[in-house]
Amino acid sequence: MTLLLATLYQILQMLLVLALAPLLTGWVRLVKARLVGRRGPSVLQPYRDLLRLLRKEVVLARNASWLFRSVPYMMFTAIWLAAGLVPVFTTQLALAPTADLIALIALLGSARFFLALAGMDTGTSFGGIGSSREMMIAALAEPAMLMIVFSVAILVRSTSLAEIADFMLSGAVGLRISLALALIALVMVAIAENARIPIDNPATHLELTMVHEAMVLEYSGRHLALVEAASMLKMLLYMALIACVFAPWGMATAGSGVAAALGGMVVFVAKLAVGGTLLALFETSIAKMRVFRVGEFLGGALLLSLLGAIFLYVSRGV
Amino acid sequence: MGLVVSAIVFLFAVAVVGAAARRLPQVSTVVYGGTASACALIALWAALRLAGGGPDATLVLPVGLPWIQAHLRADALSAVFLIVVNLGGITASLFGWGYERAHHESHGGSQDGPVLPLYPLFLAGMNMVLIAADAFTFLLSWEFMSLASWLLVLSTHRDPETPKAARLYIIMASFGTACLLLAFGVLATAHGDYSFAAIRAHAPAAGAAALVVVLILLGAGSKAGLVPLHVWLPLAHPAAPSHVSALMSGVMTKVAVYAMIRVLFDLLGEPEWWWGGVTMGFGALTAVMGVLYALMQDDVKRLLAYSTVENIGAIVIALGLALVFKAAHTPVIAALALAAALLHVVNHSLFKSLLFFAAGAMLTATGSRDLNRLGGLIHRMPTTAVLALIGAAAISALPPLNGFVGEWLLFQAILNAPALSEWSLKIEIAVVGAALALATALAGACFVRLYGIAFLGRPRSRAAGEAVEVGRAMRLGMAVPAVLCVVLGVLPTPLIRLFEPALRLLVEAGPFDGRAYQPWFWLAPTSAIGNSYNGLIMLVVIALLSVVLVLGIHRKASDRVRWSIPWGCGFDGPDPAAVTQYTASSFGQPIRRAFGSTVFRARDHVDMPVPGDTRPARLSVTWTDPAWVVVVEPLSRAVGWLAEKANRLQFLTIRRYLTLMFLALVVLLVMVAVTQR
């Protein structure tokens, strides 16, 4: 019975993240537009964009291989699965014991691995520039992310996200310096991984600065729709992750009934709204960095997360 | 045991056939077929031995020095490594058979003739190291293995780089053997008995043990490629034919790991905590430096050899952790770390062999191993491309492949650091964890670079554009490890269960101890702080989601496809993008700038002609290996200086020689008098 419910919740979660991801992107765009004094498009615009892309024909480079055509599916699946692993409205998820935070990071790594390969497949210099920069950013962001995981896991004695959320909900943690450091580092990593300002700006087509956009420049039609949807999903995933680890309030726990789960969904949407607003505020108040400053930015994140982990490793009573 | 020894003797017989009948057309079939069957026999025996338990097989042969004899023994640890070595031997024989035939056809005549007799000897040497049970037999086998591989490196001596590589290799191998010799000397001094059983029974004093730890890390470490003793490896490994490179990089380094485990965990008795600390530190340095080196290479095989350095670093980190936890009397966690090490040993031998085979396939098809002369091979060599992609993904630790499982276990062991009492170790483990994560992420970048440049994009040379897929034997040789990479990633638990006898032998616990019955498709070690991973369910869910996605998209979306030319930055022509696409050096530039400028003094020089000049602009990249500057060059200067001084001894008069001998005799007599008192 519990397993059945957990499976049901799992399926519900997979659908929920899929449905909410474009909404979050639309919300961030709307808030950003309002902040700079524009009216901005409707929050539903990303849905319309995706549908429009789906209906368009695919233009493929003449020497594109099967890899180029299958990567959008592979990366979307990997990110979708990863997003399904983060508890958003309940910690009772069927896949929780199958894969933990480390596996989640590795899933995101797979998505990036394949996308970077796809960037190189058409043999244009834009694809190469995007892939090479993306992998440089990942080389620093991924270890920072893992160190954040370590700090949290040491505290909770588990890398399972459901257990982390349960533990944080129980209020046994209190305020800790290492958690604060981990939160700052996680936000920095999230900004870098989602190609947001000040690391990257997917809204421009300026070859000197672009990273993500350069990689996917040759995609069109349904492939581009999948790539775009995957990056929306990834942004939602990071927000859900921050919410799950540092602000799990309102989430339903094991055995707390269906009403609690429904409440959890409402709270989750509210959290996304707050997170989106904060992101928009941050992005409008900061300028884009040079590409080679990214190393310093993410090096800082790695250092902070390592410090957080060391604090916990040497502190007593963990 | 008799079976293993007979199989090794059979390998010698095969070598004799290979030497005697070098010119006959069918001889390579005999040699590779014979080697593969001998390896299969030993691997099967070892697997049965591990699965069935039972007493250790021992054998004492009346050969060697008269008062020592040759002790042979295959316990659970030997069995694990026998499987690794002989599995590598089987696939390498399969691939090598096809490889040599392909080269036979293209080059006419037996260019790789000397490989035939040496190849089985190399495998015999590695097998002998694993079953040696006394210091004398061990060192003899070790040296045999080194010499066979050295001759294999020399077998392609037409390449101008090879003699340099071979000379450096023989120097480093001699250095390693000397360290091992001293280590075993220290181990055996107390009682003068060189058999492992006697050494195990008399644990050395603290000071002597410390000396042995350092000597083993130097001796076995130079063979495994620990930084800064790795310098020979990227020169020597690529110089041999590709299937031998695969064996040297994927398998022989594991024999060195075996030596470390044998001495550190088995022969030395109770460890002290700092042994693990030192080992881990070396491992972390090796992992990060190895992958950074790999990222700057343009030569496919050299890149793979440097990546071996990185993977050895990860294995040595796991060994260090296991030592630390063993010293802290938390055997279950030690078993977890050691299981991670053994799993990574198996994994790396699989995907590194696979990738070296793929490099060999590229070499066969295009005649080049320079990344900047490859490209677009996914169209010309579809099967190789798919198999190499599996290898690249597995070595980048992507789930649900085997590389990820090893990494996962290792991270789980790292998470147990708070169980330790030394705070310095806790900090070290946190830093080591970060270094490992960094190395893993950089490995991803490294293999995106390798795969993207070699297989994707457009051909960068005529040969790459005209490449043809390699023969069936070579493809099969690559397919076997590729399939195993997937299987072990999805179902790692049975293999870890198979290791359990070895883990019990070394740390007296298994990673699943104290846990109720677990199904064989679930990975949940006790000490992984309650965490679990299930590759099978992951795979099923991924497959399910993919099906849902593809069906959903194809029902909704337009399926019109138009083929067109990509934007080539203004270059026009039949193939606009080929000149403008990214090269290996340009791909590595951001990482080179972020990491390489201080450590490696990496510099990009751009030679830009003035406007109006029609000469092409050129970019050249230079970097220096700090290990050369810090270790190798001073060492070679010291050796040169010593040789110079010793050289004078050649030209003395008889009277002086007699004086020297007399003095030596006096000194020795004084020493005897002092020690006898």
DSSP 8-class letter at A187:
H
Q: What count of other Cβ atoms lies within 10 Å of the Cβ of residue B521? A: 14
Structure tokens at A14: 């997979």
Q: Which of B601, B622, B643 is the last residue of a domain?
A: B622
Q: Which of residues 7-66 of A touch B (CB under 8 A)?
A: 14, 54-63, 65-66
Query: Is there a single domain that holds both residue B387 and residue B518?
Result: yes
Q: Which positions in chain B touch A226 (Cβ < 8 Å)?
A: 549, 553
Query: Is there a single domain that holds both residue B399 and residue B458?
Result: yes
DSSP 8-class letter at B592:
I
pLDDT at B110: 47
Query: Is there a single domain that holds both residue B611 and residue B650?
Result: no
pLDDT in tens, A137-149: 899 899 999 999 8
Query: Is there a single domain that holds both residue B418 and residue B434?
Result: yes
Helix (H), strand (E) at residue A309? helix A294-314
Answer whether residue B224 is part of any domain. Answer: no
Query: Is there a single domain that holds both residue B541 and residue B407?
Result: yes
Residue type at B560? R
Strands A58-61 and B561-564: parallel
Chain-chain contact of A136 with B449 (C-beta, under 8 angstroms): no
Strand ranges inside chain A, DSSP E: 58-61
Residue B422: what are its φ and ψ, rounded to 5°? -75, 120
Q: Which of B380, B396, B415, B424 to mutate to test the interface with A (most CBs of A within 10 A)?
A: B415
Residue type at B405? V
Chain-chain contact of A124 with B440 (C-beta, under 8 angstroms): no
Return d(Cα B460, Cα B454) in angstroms, integer.
Answer: 9
Distances (CA, A) of B583 to A279, B445, B514: 36, 14, 53
Answer whether residue B600 is part of any domain. Answer: yes
Query: Is there a single domain that holds both residue B602 and residue B650?
Result: no
Answer whether residue A22 shows pLDDT above 60: yes
Answer whether residue B128 is part of any domain. Answer: no
Range of the domain at B669: 627-675
Return d(Cα B523, Cα A97) in angstroms, integer.
Answer: 10
Q: pTM above 0.90?
A: yes
Chain-chain contact of B379 with A63 (C-beta, under 8 angstroms): yes
Return d(Cα A106, Cα A152) in angstroms, integer.
Answer: 17
Cβ contacts of B598 within 8 Å, gap of 6 or more: none
pLDDT in tens, B216-231: 999 999 999 998 888 8
Q: Which of residues 534-593 of B touch A (CB under 8 A)?
A: 534, 537-538, 541-542, 545-546, 549-550, 553, 556-558, 560-569, 577-578, 580-582, 586-591, 593
Q: Which of residues 371-400 of B touch A (CB under 8 A)?
A: 375-376, 378-379, 385, 389, 393, 396-399
Query: Is there a single domain that holds both residue B412 and residue B428?
Result: yes
Answer whether residue B457 is part of any domain. Answer: yes
Q: Does A116 touch chain B (CB under 8 A)?
A: yes
Cβ distance B141 to B132 under 8 Å? Answer: yes
Chain-chain contact of A109 with B426 (C-beta, under 8 angstroms): no
The interface predicted TM-score (ipTM) is: 0.94
Q: Which of B552, B568, B602 is the last residue of a domain?
A: B552
Residues above pLDDT 90, as percent of chain B: 51
pLDDT in tens, B516-549: 667 788 888 877 777 889 999 999 999 999 999 9
pLDDT band at B495 (very low <50, low <70, confident <90, very high): very high
Answer whether residue B153 is part of any domain. Answer: no
Q: Does B608 touch chain A (CB under 8 A)?
A: no
Query: Is there a single domain that holds both residue B646 and residue B608?
Result: no
Query: Is there a single domain that holds both residue B607 and residue B495?
Result: no
Answer whether residue B75 is part of any domain. Answer: no
Chain-chain contact of B560 with A226 (C-beta, under 8 angstroms): no
Least confident of A144-148, A200-204, B232-236, B614-618: A200-204
DSSP 8-class letter at A220:
-
Tell me the angle at which helices B253-261 and B135-154 cross, rounded to the nearest 10 degrees.
160
Q: Total structural domains in chain B?
A: 3
- For B368-395, what is the mean pLDDT? 93
Nearest residue of chain B to residue A124 (CA atoms) = B581
Answer whether residue B564 is part of any domain. Answer: no
Helix (H), strand (E) at residue B632? none
Cβ distance B91 to B353 under 8 Å? Answer: yes
Q: Which of B531, B552, B573 is the last residue of a domain?
A: B552
Query: Is there a single domain that holds both residue B335 and residue B440?
Result: yes
Least confident of A230-239, B177-186, B611-620: B611-620
Query: Is there a single domain that holds both residue B412 and residue B545?
Result: yes
Cβ contacts of B466 within 8 Å, gap of 6 or more: B380
Answer whether residue B57 shows pLDDT above 80: no
Answer whether residue B310 is part of any domain. Answer: no
Cβ distance B293 to B311 under 8 Å? Answer: no
Cβ distance B402 to A297 under 8 Å? Answer: no
pLDDT at B482: 96
Average pLDDT over chain B reads 88
Query: Is there a single domain that holds both residue B660 and residue B610?
Result: no
**Cis ω before B576 (30° cut-off from 0):** no
Q: What count of other Cβ atoms lies within 10 Å of the Cβ of residue A218? A: 24
> Which one of B397, B537, B561 has the shortest CB-CB distance to A58?
B561
pLDDT band at B420 (very low <50, low <70, confident <90, very high): confident
Calculate the CA dihedral of residues A46, A51, A55, A60 and round it to 10 degrees.
50
